């Protein structure tokens, strides 16, 4: 098999939560480039619509957008059913929707903690459950959970102060490993990517205030750009990773060393 075939996604179908901006948009773009059809989901459907229209036009693939709150099981079930009706199958699930909240532990509202845990952990569970039923039936699937380097390490409050976020991403990492062993018998691969500090809307405030401090924690001394996650995302979605499951791939400039 040629190397190019290992990374080919022609006529595969991927559902990407949070696919309308940031890391989700970057993943959607590299999948489209490799021939994958896209179902992009977000609470802000208009963001997904813009990305879907652009990628469909640029790469000649089919791309639809859907409004989705991943913390709502009825919405998750409805959107997954619609995607299956629109595309006929789902080969790849990228659980990318995420939330964060910055505050000292002693001041963090319970509402904020619950919001972060519900989006990052419960949302990942609900999407995996709904899509997983279909993947079990077709005896194939690739699930990629977007965790975080923050779920693998800890930092003093001068660097980050987001204990709900870090705890939720640690939970996503363990969920990934546990689900991988549960569904390996169904030929479903479950892996996670743990991005470090990338320039996104979510990290803009932190980088504006503390970029120099953050850079001190990254051995490669740089912040992730809009190209640096694509290689990991395409690897875990394709035949190239057909002997890989339950793995967490850190894309973090060495920050978790």
Give catalytic residues, as residue numbers: 165
Q: Between helices 45-59 and 22-33, what is the axis angle to 10°?
A: 20
Element spanning 73, H or E: helix 73-87
Q: Pairing relation of β-strands 92-95 and 13-17?
A: parallel
The C-alpha angle 215, 219, 223, rounded to 5 degrees, equals 45
The torsion of the CA quartet 81, 85, 87, 88, rounded to 10 degrees, works out to 90
Q: Between helices 163-183 and 110-117, what is the axis angle to 10°?
A: 30
Mention every residue, 6+ apart, whose C-beta is less than 8 A from residue 68.
17, 41, 42, 43, 75, 76, 79
């Amino acid at each position: 098999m040629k190397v190019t075939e290992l990374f080919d996604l022609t006529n595969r179908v991927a559902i990407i939560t949070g696919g309308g901006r940031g890391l989700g948009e970057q993943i959607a773009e590299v999948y489209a480039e490799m021939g994958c059809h896209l179902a992009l989901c977000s609470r802000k459907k208009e963001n997904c619509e813009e990305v879907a229209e652009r990628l469909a036009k640029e790469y000649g693939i089919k791309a639809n957008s859907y409004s989705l709150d991943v913390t709502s099981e009825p919405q998750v079930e409805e959107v997954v059913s619609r995607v299956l009706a629109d595309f006929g199958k789902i080969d790849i699930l990228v659980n990318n929707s995420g939330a964060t909240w910055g505050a000292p532990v002693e001041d963090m509202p319970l509402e904020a903690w619950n919001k972060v845990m519900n989006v990052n952990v419960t949302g990942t569970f609900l999407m995996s459950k709904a899509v997983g039923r279909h993947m079990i039936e077709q005896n194939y699937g690739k699930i990629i959970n977007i965790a975080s380097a923050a779920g693998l390490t800890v930092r003093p409050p001068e660097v980050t102060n987001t204990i709900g976020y870090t705890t939720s991403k640690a939970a996503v990492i363990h969920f990934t490993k546990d689900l991988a062993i549960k569904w390996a018998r169904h030929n479903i691969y479950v892996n996670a990517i743990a991005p470090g500090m990338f320039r996104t809307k979510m990290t803009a405030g932190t980088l504006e205030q503390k970029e120099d401090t953050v850079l001190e924690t990254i051995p490669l001394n740089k912040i992730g750009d809009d190209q640096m996650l694509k290689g990991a995302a395409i690897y875990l979605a394709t035949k190239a990773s057909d002997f890989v499951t339950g793995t967490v791939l850190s894309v973090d400039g060495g920050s978790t060393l």
